[in-house]
Amino acid sequence: MFKKALLALPVAMAVGGAAQAGEWQDPADVLNNLLEANPDSAYLHQSEMNIMMMPDNPALWVADDGEELFYQERGPNNASLESCDFGKGPGVLDGAYVELPRYFEDVGKVMDFEQRLVHCMKEIQGFDEDDAAVAQRHGSGSDIMQLTTYIAMQSSGMEWQPQNDHPEEQALIAAGEKLFFRRGGAQDFNCAACHGQSGKRIRASVLPQMRNSQEWTKAVSWPAQRAGHDNVRSQNHRIRGCVWQMRHAAIKPDSMANTALIAFWNDAARGEPAILPDLKR
């Protein structure tokens, strides 16, 4: 583990110099600024109740639980996650979430946030694939969602800047865009079927438009308390749900398709501040 941390150092130093895009802001303030700047967005303004509830977002409690878990010595190796490198150096969480997915030298590939978190829990803490700590991906009670909410929150108000310098990062963002428009499944859907126009609804839900970055930053701002589910949900959970509704084949977490979609999602929100955690219908 110590050796791993040393190996990660040159990477940390290489990217450490880059300026953070924006200062930390309370998620309720980030949302309020977006609402004021976009008075006509039906998507952003659709739930008065959720907007009002932002300061008391139940996801904030989940983030507290995640903080405790992050520093706790756990797993077969009895180690904390403080040496986990999310791309800005071991243990550096400020602004790390909004810069993912990114290419990691130590694994030789691009990883999204959840994939990286699971990687660290296995490598550093010694959890096995089948241990509930890493196998249970969904629900406010899961370690993964608690850790995700805490770590993501350290990037609230900062701009989405998924890394795009490495050729593999560029390749996956481009592939993610094509996947977004790739028709398939029993009913011919692609992601753009629901996210290609502004102000449209599926039943009662107003849909975010992918090309409108100020709507899209809220759309991709997971983790978020999903009021209708009474649970905090992740980007992975949103993708899984959309793919299921599209009647495509089921998508796997930690997969290249999942990472490519998230890379493209976050790229489409590039430069906009993230609301972390958010509150959604």
Partner 1 sequence: MPGQSVRWGLPLAVSAALFTTGCQFFGDADEGETDIAAMETDELVEHIVFESDSYRLDQPVQEGGSARGRMEQDDLQRACSVVGGELSGDQVQEVITLARESYEAPPGGPRLGDWERGAELARSGYGFRVGHRNDDHSTRTPGGNCYACHQMDPNEPIYGTIGPSLAGYGSGRGTDEASLRYAHEVISNPHQYFPCTEMPRFGANELLSEREISHIMAYLLDPESPVNQ
**Residues 7-66 within binding reach of partner 1 (CB under 8 A):** none
Q: Smaller CB distance to partner 1: residue 91 or 184?
A: 184
For the chain, the maximum distance between any two Cα atoms, rounded to a whole number of angstroms, is 54
Stretch near partner 1 under the rule CB under 8 A, chosen from 12-20, 54-62, 173-181, 266-274: 173-181
Q: Which of 240, 268, 275, 280 binds partner 1 (CB under 8 A)?
A: 240
Q: Which of 172, 219, 232, 263 binds partner 1 (CB under 8 A)?
A: 172
8 Å CB contact between 158 and 28: no
DSSP category for residue 74: B
Q: Which of 96, 151, 194, 220 binds partner 1 (CB under 8 A)?
A: 194
Beta bridge partners of 273: 159
For the residues of 139-166, what is the DSSP string, one character each?
Answer: STTSHHHHHHHHHHHTTTTSBB-----S
Q: Which of 196, 213, 270, 281 binds partner 1 (CB under 8 A)?
A: 196
**Residues 101-130 within binding reach of partner 1 (CB under 8 A):** 108-109
CA 54 to chain centre: 19
Q: Smaller CB distance to partner 1: residue 28 or 243?
A: 243
Instruction: Examine residue 186 and tell whether it contacts partner 1 (CB under 8 A).
Output: yes
DSSP category for residue 123: H
User: For residues 274 and 35, what is the distance between their CA atoms, to the nearest angstrom?
Assistant: 13
8 Å CB contact between 129 and 48: no
Residues labelled catalytic: 242
Interface with partner 1 by CB under 8 A: which residues?
Answer: 108-109, 167-168, 170-172, 174-175, 177-190, 192-194, 196-197, 199-204, 207, 240, 243-245, 247-252, 255-258, 260
